[in-house]
Amino acid sequence: MTQPPSNPEIGRNVVAAGIRTNYHDVGQGFPVLLIHGSGPGVSAWANWRLTMPHLAARARVLAPDMVGFGFTERPVGINYNLDTWVGHALGFLDAMGIEKADLVGNSFGGALSLALAIRHPRRVRRLVLMGAAGVPFTLTPGLDAVWGYEPSVQAMRRLLDIFAYDRRLVNDELAELRYRASVQPGVQEAFAAMFPAPRQRWVDALASPEAEIRALPHETLVIHGREDQVIPLSNALTLSRWIHRSQLHVFGRCGHWTQIEHADRFSRLVGDFLAEAASDEPRPLDPVEPRMDPLT
Residues marked as catalytic = 107, 228, 256
Q: Are 4 and 35 in contact (CB under 8 A)?
A: no
Element (H, E) at 63: strand 60-64
Q: State how far the Cα of 207 lies from the Cα of 203, in Å rounded to an integer.
A: 7
Closest of 80, 73, 24 to residue 47, by C-alpha: 24
Q: Measured between alpha carbons, how far apart are the two ends of the chain, in Å?
A: 49
Alpha-helical (H) ranges within 99-214 are 108-119, 141-147, 153-163, 172-182, 187-194, 200-205, 210-214
Taking the C-alpha atoms of residue 169 and residue 85, their distance in angstroms, rounded to an integer, is 30
Helix axis angle for 187-194 and 172-182, nearest 10°, is 80
CA–CA separation, 295 and 231 (whole Å): 18
Determine how many CB atoms are found less than 10 A away from the CB of residue 83: 12
3-state secondary structure of 53: helix
Burial of 53 (0-12, 13-18, 19+ CB in 10 A): middle
Integer Cα distance of 187 and 123 in angstroms? 30
- Torsion angle, alpha carbons of 189, 195, 198, 202, to 10: 170
